[in-house]
Chains A and B, each alone.
Chain A
Amino acid sequence: MLEIKNLHVKLEDEDKQILKGVDLTVPAGEVHAIMGPNGSGKSTLSYVLSGRDGYEVTEGEATLNGEALLEMEPEERASAGLFLAFQYPVEIPGVGNMTFLRTAVNAQRKSRGEEELSAADFLKLIREKARTLKIDAEMLKRPVNVGFSGGEKKRNEILQMAMLEPRMCILDETDSGLDVDAMRLVAEGVNALRSPDRAFLVITHYQRLLDHIKPDVVHIMADGRIVRSGGPELALEVEENGYGDLLAEVG
């Protein structure tokens, strides 16, 4: 599914190298977690994969199902099946949540040469998804993320994910700022989307999200590199001892 080879990235307007050779493979059907201390490059990785401005790839490559990801525009990556659940979802005043989603769904369908969803089919679909994610119908009518609580914003991201049905989902610290109940709802949403032809990359600081979303593989990132990979037990180790010992080990 997602393959990243020797990825080096620096900030565009600063001479600061952030990723220093990331190697990562996430096969279809698997959930991988990336953990690591602040400033290790986790969020940068998610932004570079989704095509945000401001970063320069100096070396390496990333492919999604064999397609060269880094050469595509952000919207092409989305249509190719990549989805990023933002750590800080943006507010768009005046644009109804439903209008936003319908525009997004149809834009993707159009670019894949599929027929656009009719208003009726769209409504049916979004109501069904909102019900599963326990999202209030009122939230669908409100402007995108405007006045949403932290939990609502994150659930809204998961709703978008459910509607767009991406093949590769990246969650960027989706757990930050969530209380236990909100986190459980978000995790349930993710778990409901798990399937053999979909992969997840969950970026997180803490073990607690991984209590709800059981990862197949856990990677530890530090100073722009993946320094260790292992099973779910690696996350528990971090929880217990912090990053200190781990990082000291790899030098």
Chain B
Amino acid sequence: MSLENSERRKFIGASFSAVAAVGGFFSLVAMKKTWDPLPSVKAAGFTTVDLSPLKEGELHQITWRKKPIFILKKTADMKADDNRDVIVDGARYTVCIGLCTHLGCIPSYKSGQFICACHGGIFDISGNAVFGPPPRGLDIPPFKIDGTKLVLGETSPEFEKLVKKA
């Protein structure tokens, strides 16, 4: 074959590039999706918790999506926080994901505060960041109120309202 026919070679080169680009793009899509959480992982993403047996002022901890969730029924002398409190059946609750918003350690509950030992972040009783490196208050998990029960993993108008304020 002669090399003078470079126009044809250019055309073949361009066609190959086009095919390779399409193939490459779909390979990347497939790889991205392979790394996504599996359906079984996603399906296990809902947890229902009954709030009626909870005692006031005692921290209750459950697990949702393998993350610790703090639930605290506020006593009358604990400061109310309309931006963050979840109100169920007339009682105020602090409901938040128990992972420091800085780097994800679990803060410990000490005398009305959540204190993260690793880098010294402090959150108040409602989960607001009050000191240290955490960029925001403890995250509120998506929830739905169902009587005295709280369904975690599903959003609701109440949740949307809190997210907007917090």
A and B found bound together: no
Where the two chains meet, the residues of A that have a C-beta atom closer than 8 Å to any C-beta of B are none
